[in-house]
Structure 1
Amino acid sequence: MSWSIKLFRVKGIDVKVHLTFVLILIWAAYRWGSDTGAGWQGALFGVVATLLLFVAVTLHELGHSLQAIKYGVPVRDITLLPLGGVSQMEEIPEKPGQELRIAIAGPLVNFAIAALLIAVGAVLQARALITLPELVQSLGDANWAGMLAYLTIANLALGLFNLIPAFPMDGGRVLRALLALRMDYTKATATAVAVGQGLAFLLGLWGFMGGDFTLVLIAIFVWMGAGQEGKQVEVKSVLRGIKVGQAMTRQPQTVSIYDPLSRVVELTLSTSQADFPVTEVENSRLVGLLTQDDMLKGLQAHGMDARVGRVMETKFPAAAPDDLLFEAQQRMARDRVRAMPVVDASGHLAGLLTAEDINEAYRLLSASPKGWG
């Protein structure tokens, strides 16, 4: 994830913090410093409490990630954002038992932290559990003596909130895994999506009727997250078994490193292609990729006569003809590219896979129940 700074690495997983994370620290400092009337001491309390809470968030995400690694699922990184943490996994296992264990691991970590804090409170003869009225009162007071109770309740709340049976929370995945024990994975996903969006509608209605627009925003977030999960599984189901070579453009327009950008402009205007593989003059070996953004930046900086080799990308994702189409689509989405060269085992260009190719394949396969032969 861009705009992120690496903090440390655990079991091959980079733990990063997004630059916008500073916003939650600023909010915490203002909230505890101004609203409580405690000044800079309250601001310090708010920052420390928030940082400690995000230690628990990090452990929550590590719980998911380490369990995923156990089942052979690659985890690229964990990124801390103002609203929580995100584990970037390559895929979610379709085996219900594996998904269930990965999903439940995060909340269980929070419950374990809460249990540990309660034990620490017992040893130190300090209260680690408080009632709801006491919690509300403590939120208006920057009291260091109440930090233990605050963190205990926060971890319990974090665990319980994530178990709400709605995507993108962990509870949505737990529900799908349980349903998938008795029905098809795609149908289980559709049912879990419907449950999640139903809960989101009720939450949004409750928030709207009560004038609590924070609940409305949460409901919108849940509704959209559930819909996105459902769409992704539907796409995966439709594209299942289809190879990149079946959907790619087989004879794309190419350019060489010596071609001027004026030739690329001509090709762009005369064809429907916007991104161009760059190959060696004497053969079709792939050496680069010129995206439309690269071309526009090159025109602005160097003009029409600039050579392609001066502005092309030399590091870019590529696929093989036998790669699964859905996996290629996920790679393109992750790397935020519209096109991906397809190369054979010898490194020669075999075709070009574009977002339009994938969309066309999806539309055709959706309309044809029997799929492609």
Structure 2
Amino acid sequence: MGWSISLGRIAGTEVRIHLTFFLLLAWFGLVAGAQGGGGAAVSAIAFILAIFACVLAHEYGHVLMARRFGIGTRDIILLPIGGVASIERMPDNPTQELLIALAGPAVNVVIALILILFFGANIHPGNSDPAALQNIDFVSRLALINIVLVVFNLLPAFPMDGGRALKALLSYKLDKVTATRIAARIGQAAAFGLGFLGLFGNPLLIFIALFVFLAASHETYAVELGEATQKANMRDATITSFSHLDTTSSVGDAVKALLGTPQREFPVTDGAGRLRGVLTRDGMIQALASSGPDTPVLDVMEREIPTIGYRAPLSQAAELLHSSGKPLVGVVDDGERVVGIITLENLAEFMLVERASQGWRRSHGGDVRSVR
């Protein structure tokens, strides 16, 4: 994710922190300092850092449970609204998905119990009043926050943990796409509720609501795409007519290709036609501004672009594109020569065609074949 910096790798997973997180720290420090002086500012910043340590532990609950099922995690990003673990894929087995979803809140339950049983945290109901939080000790406040994290994350607001658990439970009786659609609709309804509450209380709820709403839409699209591509061949969504750059090209050559074609991503191939990288429009413009048109594309292209054989199923290419985070996947023949590319944009167009075809088939009694 842009605007984030790496804190290193912990237990095999990279941890990143968004730069806006430091604005959150500064805001809490300034507000507390204005009310109680330097000591209060330090205490407020320390408390926020302790909360996000608990959030990070929560995310590692998801990461380690997913790893138990053979699923990796690209990274964990800490945002002002919480943490996001970029798990490479969710399992098709609903029990596994349920366990991954509940692993995060379970970590917060354990943290709260440790703080209560071993550190003397007092979670008297009266302490849950926001106005009383400033008057109770550090450990009790942290225990209460962990309990709040459990309750909040278990709200059925897909794709939060509770919504993901709901989807897993629905998947025992329904197909994956239907279960996801139902959970996403419930999640979006919950997002409206959170946003409404945010208007009269904590503005942070508005940002959380927006995140939940957009994430639910994205998750539904990803599941529908996965379902559609399972039944499709690679050729159904492969771009076979495309411009490419060779390893001797310059940024100036790339600019000419950009202006002369509708492409935004340009594969860079060697003399044997093998994929060596890709130069995107954004990378091209950045290089043009910083080092000029004579810059070799080899100096500014993205490397380690994934490739896939032309006989592989389209679903495998879509999964590879998603997990790699790269702008495209190269489709190669038996000699590793690039014969096509697959991008997020043409997968989206494939989905539009697929939906239109399904509507056409339904209106004609299911007897009309797909336009593919």
What TM bracket, shorter-length normalisation?
Answer: 0.7 to 0.9
One-letter amino acid of the structure 2 residue matched with residue 365 of structure 1: E
CA distance in 2, matches of 1:45, 1:71: 40
One-letter amino acid of the structure 2 residue matched with residue 290 of structure 1: L
Could you list the per-position Cα deviations for residues 208-239 of structure 1 after superposition, in whole angstroms to 9, with x for gaps in the alignment? 5x476554444333333322222222222222
Could you list the per-position Cα deviations for residues 110-138 of structure 1 after superposition, in whole angstroms to 9, with x for gaps in the alignment? 111111111014xxxx4421223564344
- Counterpart for residue 364 of structure 1: 353
Q: Secondary structure at the residue paired with 1:98?
A: helix
Q: Secondary structure at the residue paired with 1:16?
A: strand
- Residue 313 in 1 paired to residue 301 in 2? yes
- Assess if the C-alpha contact under 8 Å between 2:81 and 2:207 holds in 1: no
Larger Rg: 1
- Counterpart for residue 151 of structure 2: 160
Residues 1-373 of structure 1: pairs in structure 2 closer than 5 A? 1-34=1-34, 37-121=35-119, 126-132=120-126, 135-141=129-135, 146-208=137-199, 210=200, 213-259=203-249, 263-281=253-271, 283-300=272-289, 306=294, 308-309=296-297, 311-313=299-301, 315-320=303-308, 321-326=310-315, 328-329=317-318, 331-332=320-321, 338-369=327-358, 371=370
CA distance in 1, matches of 2:213, 2:278: 38
Q: Secondary structure at the residue paired with 1:359?
A: helix
Sort the Cα spacing of 1:372 and 1:319 in 2 relative to 1 into closer, same or farther, 3 A: farther
- Assess if the C-alpha contact under 8 Å between 1:172 and 1:192 holds in 2: yes
CA distance in 1, matches of 2:51, 2:267: 47
CA distance in 2, matches of 1:114, 1:9: 26
Deviation at 1:181, TM superposition (A): 0.8
Sort the Cα spacing of 1:273 and 1:55 in 2 relative to 1 into closer, same or farther, 3 A: closer
**Percent of matched pairs sharing the same residue:** 34
CA distance in 1, matches of 2:238, 2:314: 9
Deviation at 1:307, TM superposition (A): 6.6
One-letter amino acid of the structure 2 residue matched with residue 258 of structure 1: T
One-letter amino acid of the structure 2 residue matched with residue 293 of structure 1: D
Could you list the per-position Cα deviations for residues 135-174 of structure 1 after superposition, in whole angstroms to 9, with x for gaps in the alignment? 4344344x6xx11210111100001100000113100001
Aligned length: 361
Sort the Cα spacing of 1:92 and 1:213 in 2 relative to 1 into closer, same or farther, 3 A: same
- Assess if the C-alpha contact under 8 Å between 1:255 and 1:277 holds in 2: yes
One-letter amino acid of the structure 2 residue matched with residue 247 of structure 1: A
Sort the Cα spacing of 1:64 and 1:371 in 2 relative to 1 into closer, same or farther, 3 A: farther
- Assess if the C-alpha contact under 8 Å between 1:25 and 1:50 holds in 2: yes
Q: Secondary structure at the residue paired with 2:240?
A: coil
- Assess if the C-alpha contact under 8 Å between 2:81 and 2:208 holds in 1: no
CA distance in 2, matches of 1:265, 1:137: 59
Deviation larger for 268-277 or 327-336: 327-336
* TM-score, normalised by the number of residues in structure 1: 0.84
Sort the Cα spacing of 1:355 and 1:119 in 2 relative to 1 into closer, same or farther, 3 A: closer
Q: Structure 1: give runs of 5+ residues left out of the alignment.
A: none
One-letter amino acid of the structure 1 residue matched with residue 301 of structure 2: E
CA distance in 2, matches of 1:221, 1:314: 29
Q: Structure 2: give runs of 5+ residues left out of the alignment.
A: 359-368
Deviation at 1:62, TM superposition (A): 0.7
RMSD: 2.9
- Assess if the C-alpha contact under 8 Å between 2:115 and 2:121 holds in 1: no
One-letter amino acid of the structure 2 residue matched with residue 254 of structure 1: H
One-letter amino acid of the structure 1 residue matched with residue 23 of structure 2: L
Q: Secondary structure at the residue paired with 2:354?
A: helix
Q: Secondary structure at the residue paired with 2:245?
A: coil
Q: Secondary structure at the residue paired with 1:242?
A: coil
CA distance in 2, matches of 1:203, 1:263: 50
CA distance in 1, matches of 2:336, 2:149: 49
